[in-house]
Chains A and B, each alone.
Chain A
Amino acid sequence: MSLSRRRRMLPWWFALPGLLWLIVFFAIPILNQVSVSLMSGDPEKGYELTWTFSTYWDAIRDYHAQFTRSFGYAGAATLIDFVIAFPLAYFIAYKAGRFKGLWLLLVILPFFVSQVMRTASWQLILNDQGWLVARMQDVGVVSDDGRFLATGKAVIFGISYNFLPFMVLPIYATLDRIDRRLIEAASDLYCSRWTAFRKVTLPLAVPGIFAGSLLVFIPACGDYINSSILGSSNTTMIGNVIQSKFLNVLDYPTAAALSFILMGVILLGIAIYGRVLGTKNLTELAG
């Protein structure tokens, strides 16, 4: 093999471990599950590949409510996380000084405990007779004789809580990298602090916001832990349906089809989101 040929091959060799990883742990399972989603049969006789595409339509027809709910909850949680995470990330990047490391540690600290345990702890804290629910009643978040647990609000709260660090960290990373001289330059050019924030800081933080919202929204759509612990039969998400189909009903094709529908809708959503709010466009727009 000539030297130049070998040079050209070099990047491929670097990519090989990652490529193999993707093939073994992503492509093959995905292809396999695609075939499962097109099977038909029953749990006694087994399932055979029959190219039954109707499973997809049936799944959408039967579970569109849970799909809609999943996207609604995930969207609400993403919004809540953004509202909480942006000021927090801003504070850590610009105001925390030498305690930056400590603040970041505090943000990721909950991850040292399993998600199920953390969510179950909220189930204890948010009990109907608890202090927190009483305060929520005071401020009208919960009606006076109402409850917080076993409602959609509780599920959205749980998702927001569990995925908050995924929003904080990317926003922090972009804010921290912003060249401070740009902000100084803005004020030199008679920008008020608010205008400098709006015209300089915020547009430069868009890649972080974009990454953060995807990191929250995507896993939140498929989440089923929060709904099963903090919710009720009126708050089930598509993840709960997939779990039930896979483990209780033993309807593997529908479980697989639901997973692919979820994946497809999310991909489509991201493509649109990327187009509309895409990082490149927005930074150009601001520039």
Chain B
Amino acid sequence: MREDDARAQSALEQALDEQVLTGRTSRRRFVGRSAGAALMATGLASVLSACGITGTATQNVEQLEEEAANVRHPKVPIGDWTFSNWPLYMDKAVLKDFDRRFGGKVKYVEDINDNNDFFGKVRQQLTQDQPIGRDIVVLTDPMASRWVRSGFVTPYDLRNVPNRDNLVATLQSISYDPKRQFTLPFQSGAIGIGYDIRATGRELTSMKEFFNPEFKGKCTMLSEPYDSASSVLIMQGKNPANATIDDMLGAVEFIAQAAGKGQFRRFTGNDYTTDLTKGNVELVMAYSGDMVQLQADNPNLRFAYPDEGAVLFTDNLMLPANVAHPYAAETMLNYLYEPDVAAKLCAYINYISPVSGIRQILEKSDPDIAENELIFPTDEIRERLKVYPSLSTIEEQQMYEAMAKVTGA
């Protein structure tokens, strides 16, 4: 379900609050006399002070690199600190164990429901170089990339994360952060074909099924263009990792044409799960981790990595700029990369873990999970996984605008 709607509202409220707060000091001035004139003055002053919205321009990469090279987060006692994450994305027992072992108290908040909504919520502080009151945030690749290139991050002191060596080779580096100085992987998942085999009567293995007239009005498409357009590009035999904005716009247009003919019942976020489980649709563009959880309740639900290949997305742990407790955050990262901890977490949340060697642990404790190729894709599948394109903020705007036209907004 889309709590992101509620999020959007609170993001708007927060944006308003912040602008109000900046006007608050001037509020007292006019209380004394000639309230009318002062009212005008204050109103105008606040308008003028807000004359402009700071952009998220690309920062000087060299400066970021230099900052990263000299970063030092000395060991300090772990006090109270804050970890922001998505809902249902953590085994709370893991957090308790962390507090017990390392001291302090982690305040764990599940306040990220959507990358764009969350960015809307903290954008003002970030662009004004203010702390956002969180020590770790978890954001998906494209948004993580935007934060890195805009300088909204604090580099890691990797000396505090020696377990980083446990990461699988493919995630040791990523295009927007080649040395993983600012982002480290939390979990990954794939975007693929979710369906109810009772309804379809056959196995589905190709992305082309989403455009098959047989499923007209009986399938859903993801409204996030990074997900849907990248998947369409893979279907067309292109690698989204190298895609340009024109490629992406072409893919959005391809989706638009099918949408115009009524092919898709709805464009969804995570809420495709309701449509699939209630039988409103037969076929959904789905996230692998969701499907593992849905299958537990209904074995007729299937997830297929498309033959053409699939998008592999990674959610990244990041220290926001002006972070208050970097050592606590890095200690947590190091802890999450211990294979035993990673195995426990994986068994709980059922996403693809970035830590190597945990399959062997789970084979003993949870053989079902160790066998599940949605959680442990085979090498043959891994070869078909592709990552998102790298777009600039302006290009992203073009893409979102094109997609909004398709989804009616």
Binding site for B on A (CB under 8 A): 16, 19-20, 23-25, 27-29, 31-32, 34-36, 39, 41-49, 66, 114, 116-117, 120, 123-124, 127-130, 147, 149-150, 224-225, 228-229, 232-236, 240-241, 243-252
Contacts and interface: CB of A to CB of B under 8 A. Distances in A.
Given A46-B55, A127-B280, 18 more contacts: A16-B31, A23-B39, A31-B43, A32-B47, A35-B50, A42-B393, A43-B393, A44-B57, A48-B51, A49-B51, A114-B6, A116-B2, A120-B1, A127-B279, A129-B279, A130-B278, A147-B280, A244-B409
Given A24-B27, A246-B120, A149 B280 contact: yes
A122 to B, nearest CB: 11
B296 interface: no
Contact of B23 (A19, A24, A47, A127): A24
Contacts of A129: 278-280
Contact of B5 (A24, A35, A229): A229
Interface stretch (B187-195, B235-243, B265-273, B310-318): B265-273
Contacts of B53: 36, 39, 41, 46-47, 252
B408 interface: yes
A123 B406 CA distance: 22
Interface of B: 1-3, 5-6, 8, 11-12, 16, 19-20, 23-24, 27, 31, 35, 39, 42-44, 46-47, 50-58, 114, 116-117, 119-120, 259, 264-267, 271, 274, 278-280, 392-394, 396-397, 400-401, 403-404, 406-409
A246 B119 CA distance: 11
7 contacts: A44-B55, A46-B52, A66-B409, A127-B280, A128-B280, A129-B279, A243-B5
A45 B259 contact: no
B407 A236 contact: yes
A154 B212 CA distance: 27
Contacts of A27: 39, 43
B407 A47 contact: no
B116 A247 contact: yes
A234 B39 contact: no
Contact of B16 (A29, A49, A117, A123): A29
4 closest Cβ contacts across the A-B interface? Answer: A46-B55, A127-B278, A236-B408, A233-B408
A29 B19 contact: yes
Given A27-B43, A233-B266, A128 B279 contact: yes
A236 B409 contact: yes
Contacts of B44: 31
A116 B23 CA distance: 32
A233 B53 CA distance: 30
Contacts of A251: 397, 401
Contacts of B12: 246
Q: Which of A36, A246, A250 has the most CB of B within 10 A?
A: A250
A129 B274 CA distance: 12
A114 B117 CA distance: 19
Q: Which of A66, A130, A225, A228 has the most CB of B within 10 A?
A: A228
A32 B271 contact: no
Nearest to B49: A32
Nearest to B51: A49
Contacts of B16: 29
A240 B408 contact: yes
Given A42-B397, A233-B266, A248-B400, A28 B46 contact: yes
A117 B24 CA distance: 35
B55 to A, nearest CB: 3
Given A247-B8, A250-B397, A44 B407 contact: no
Nearest to B395: A44
A85 B280 CA distance: 32
B56 to A, nearest CB: 6
Contacts of B19: 28-29, 32
B265 A24 contact: no
A29 B15 CA distance: 10
A44 B58 contact: yes
